[in-house]
Structure formats: structure tokens, C-alpha cells
Homo-oligomer: A and B are copies of this chain.
Amino acid sequence: MSKGNAVIGQSGGPTSVINQSLVGVVQELRKLGHVDQILGARHGVRGIVEDKYIKLNNAPDELLERIAATPAAALGSSRDKPDQVYCEKIFANFAKNNVRYFFYIGGNDSADTARIVSELAQQAKHDLTVFHIPKTIDNDLRVHDHTPGYGSAARYVAFATIGDDYDNKSLPGIKVNIIMGRNAGFLTAATALARKYETDGPHLIYVPEIPLAADHFLADVDRVYSKLGRCIVSMSEGASAPDGKTWSEKLNEKVEADMHGNIQLSGTGALGDFMSDFIKKNLKTAGGKKLRVRADTFGYPQRSFFGCVSETDAIEARTVGRKAAQYCSKSENNTGGSICMTRAAGSVYAVEYHLEPLQNVARLTKHMPAEFIQNGNDVTKAFIDYVTPLVGSIPNRGSLEELKG
């Protein structure tokens, strides 16, 4: 009798380590040997409903290892958010292809898709065990201590901020950096790791969790600039105003419809340029002297830059894939779930893995807890302690400031 086939899919925004998870599933399934065909779905759920698969049983390990070290989704990804009807098509394809195991690598929307498909199979009494493998640079999955993809993206934004801060020390001015994160500020907050010396930036950190009033923003920048003659700002793309709207939404209201007709956070420099213009027009510090104000939107390199991977993140991303295959081989009564990391007790960083029911992870997002945020413009030591082990080792650096001591 057939052992049944497995489908693996990748979903949502790619990361630097999403292929580690893919390779972890494939290699472990091949080792365990309890499934027949290992089918990679092209472009996530879209590939499933269109019956587009690539068979991975015989992919050479040498190739898989190179793919694991390559950023972005090797199978292709999808932004589709399946509703009930879409999920029924997914299930129909699975029934047709004798698919008994489904591994879906993605964020909270993907966990929800996994949940719906799993429930449909139960209703139809079709043997299907569904696993959600976590992936998101936003780090916003409930229950999970952190998510694969976050550590490498955090490393990227920290390293970009280190360089940008020294660049700004070289040629002083005000610099606003826009960081990915619509609802959760974890990635923006990670730029705090750029600080080593007393005057190092970022000097101000704004996350979506705490609304930012225009006058507070100006007062913050003014205070830093008056003291240091320069200022590095880390701002989430989802930074919001006290009225509940994001600053990107407010920006869109001010600009003609034909310039920026739709709210688009990534892949545009509009928010950074808006903040830069706002500072130029309103900051009183320079007393009429022209301020040097610049903005960068860190953009897609945050999630896909080739060659900026946290070793910790890479290992954990591989491990959640392997764990999914292992849980799968031991599963009874089609019990799947989300492969969840929690932090082990003790002073040395370590994680423990468990299987979490899909409904506890699906849909809703996790936000930065209050104890990680300080004064609405910075992070706390508790956050630094939380994030430090996730980004891997940071090479040492030097400054002539050390000569002054």
C-alpha cells in the first residue's frame, strides 16, 4: 500500500533562511522514509491549485546545501491568502494526488491556511497531517519566542545601521532610516545593536506599537541634534500617528492621488522622503542654516541580502524543517501543528521545540511587549538581551574615540 505523498510550500515575503527550512524538511523526510513522493509546490498555494509541483526525492544533497545558503524562496512564493473556497481547491488537489502530509513554510496567514486545509481533511475523513513551519522577518507569530528569518534580517539592519552611523559621524547630519515592519517593531528595534560607543546611533527608535506625534518627533530630533550635531533615526514603515493612522496613510492623504495613489510601504522611498522633508521644514535647531537631512528606506535587501545570515538563524531555520518531518513520522491521528521555538530557562541561550496547535498561531500577530519599549523612542535592556543571541556574532570594530580615554 502507498505510504502517501508529501507537499511542501513556501509562502509570503522571502527571507534569507526560508530555504534552510525547505531543505530541512526534504532531507529529513528522505532519511525517515515514511513518505513516497516529496513534492515542492511552485509559488505556494498557487502551485497547489494549479497542480504545479517539482519532485524533490532525488535532488542531490550538494545542490540542496547550496539552495539552503541562497536567499529567497527556491520554490517560489505567493501572496495569495486562501479563503474557504480556495482551501477547498487545495484539499481537492491533495485528495487527487494522494497527499497525506502538508508542510507550509510561512507566517500567521500561512498557519491559518494550514488550519483550514487540515479541518477540511478531517471533515472529509481524508488522512492529512498538516505542519506550519514558521518564517517571518517581522517576528510577529504568537506563542513563538522568535521566528526563523528574523535573526538574519535583524543582523542586516544592525550592520546597515553600524555603517550608516559611522558614515554620519564622518559627515554629520540628520538621517532617517525606514525599516520593514507594518505592525510589529521587532526589526526596527534590532538596529539598537549598532550601538557600541557612547555617541553611537541609532539615537531614536520608533516602532508601530507606540504612536508618534509630529511635535514629539521634532522635539526628539531637536534634542539629539542639539547635543551631538547629528542624529540617526530608525523608524518602522508602519510607524503610526496618535490618531491611529500610519504616517504612510497620512502621507498619502497629503500627496496628489496621481503621485502615490496607493498605500505601499515597501518598495518606495516615500515615507522616508516625507519625514526628511518634514524635519527640514520644521526643525528650529539650525537657526536658518540649511540642515543636512537624508533618508534611506532599507528595502528588500533587509530580507534577501546575499551574505548576511545569522548562523543561529540558519541553524534554527534548518531545525524547524527537520523537526516538522520528525513530528510527521511520529504523528498519530493526523495531529499536526506549528513547529514552535521557546527559549530554554538558564543563562545560556538555547531553544526548545514543540508542536503548537495551529489555531494558536494563525491569523493574529504578536506585538513588541511593553517591557521592550522605552519612552516611545528607544528600546530597553530587556530587548537587547532578547535579540542579541538571535543575530549571531558581530565582528569587533574600532574608533579613534578610544584614544581619548
A binding-site residues for B, Cβ under 8 Å:
10, 13-14, 16, 40, 43, 54, 59, 63-79, 159-160, 162-164, 166-167, 169-171, 175, 255, 259-260, 264, 266-270, 272-273, 276-277, 293-301, 303-308, 395-400, 402-403
Other-chain residue from B78, B277, B308 in contact with A259 (beta carbon distance below 8 A): B277
A-B contact pairs, 18 of them (CB 8 A): A10-B170, A63-B398, A63-B402, A68-B398, A69-B395, A69-B397, A70-B398, A71-B162, A77-B171, A160-B306, A163-B305, A164-B300, A167-B300, A267-B276, A294-B300, A296-B297, A296-B301, A301-B301
B-chain residues with CB within 8 Å of residue A72 when the two chains form the complex: 163, 166-167, 169-170
A306 to B268, CA, bound (A): 24
Among residues of B, the one whose C-beta sits closest to the C-beta of A194 is B306
Q: What is the bound-complex CA distance between A400 and B304, given in angstroms?
A: 17
User: How far apart sit A307 and B163, CA to CA, in the bound complex (Å)?
Assistant: 9
B307 near A70 with CB under 8 A, answer no
> Given that A400-B54, A403-B63 are contacting pairs, would A304 and B167 also be in contact in the complex, using a CB cutoff of 8 Å?
yes
A64 touches B398 (CB 8 A): yes
Tell me the bound Cα distance from A403 to B14 in angstroms. Answer: 21
User: Are A73 and B170 neighbours in the complex by a CB distance under 8 Å?
Assistant: yes
Cα separation A69 to B399 with both chains bound (whole Å): 10
Say whether A162 contacts B300, CB under 8 Å: no
In the complex, the chain B residue whose C-beta lies closest to that of A280 is B261
Given A63-B402, A295-B267, A402-B63: A397 and B306 within 8 A (CB)? yes
